[in-house]
A and B are shown apart, each in its own frame.
Chain A
Amino acid sequence: AQSVAQPEDQVNVAEGNPLTVKCTYSVSGNPYLFWYVQYPNRGLQFLLKYITGDNLVKGSYGFEAEFNKSQTSFHLKKPSALVSDSALYFCAVRDFPSGGYQKVTFGTGTKLQVIP
């Protein structure tokens, strides 16, 4: 069964500093990986995805993620954190079981706190 792990419950970073939110995955076959962000009392918003191709994926709001097959990781990064980046971040892996729907497994989420 596929799974993702987000080892950090919370990450604190000073405004202007680089940030990293960690994610590792376990899948059989090729991984389809995603990052989502959730602001309080809102739904999840898509940030970026890795399907195939370049290991460095660029997404919305200046975020990027680095796919590392040997380490089975897909860490989310941003060169300079903003206070407005404070939110809950989810890593996810997707599969397509029989039945025609997307089976998405989410990590437990990492709360990012950017300190002014």
Chain B
Amino acid sequence: SQTIHQWPATLVQPVGSPLSLECTVEGTSNPNLYWYRQAAGRGLQLLFYSVGIGQISSEVPQNLSASRPQDRQFILSSKKLLLSDSGFYLCAWSPERGLSYNSPLHFGNGTRLTVT
């Protein structure tokens, strides 16, 4: 069966420090991968999505970047964190387009980031 792992679970970082959040998926190949941010425990905002290695698309301009160095690995990064980067970051996957007609998104357990 497929599983998705995110780490760390919680992170406290000072303003101006770098960030690296990692997400890996097991048990599937060629997944579509997504980074979401959930602010104030409610609305979800799509930050990045990827349909393949090295293929990253951004939904909103921001202080963050994403990379996909391997098929099932998705990394969220920042060179210098801002206070406004605080939030709950969720990684998700879905089967590649041709197989995802009936499939929901599958989410990791998230990373709680606090920028101080």
Contacts and interface: CB of A to CB of B under 8 A. Distances in A.
A101 B42 contact: no
B24 interface: no
A81 to B, nearest CB: 21
A103 B6 CA distance: 21
Q: How large is the interface on B (under 10, 10 to 19, 20 to 34, 35 or more residues)?
A: 20 to 34
Contacts of A46: 104-106
Tell me the dominant secondary structure on chain B's binding face. Answer: strand
Contacts of A43: 6, 90, 92, 107-110
Nearest to B59: A103
Interface in B87-112: 88, 90, 92, 94, 96-97, 100-102, 104-110, 112
Given A51-B101, A100-B32, 8 more contacts: A36-B105, A42-B110, A44-B92, A46-B105, A51-B102, A96-B97, A100-B97, A101-B50
13 contacts: A41-B88, A41-B110, A41-B112, A42-B109, A43-B90, A44-B44, A44-B107, A88-B41, A100-B32, A100-B51, A101-B34, A101-B51, A101-B97
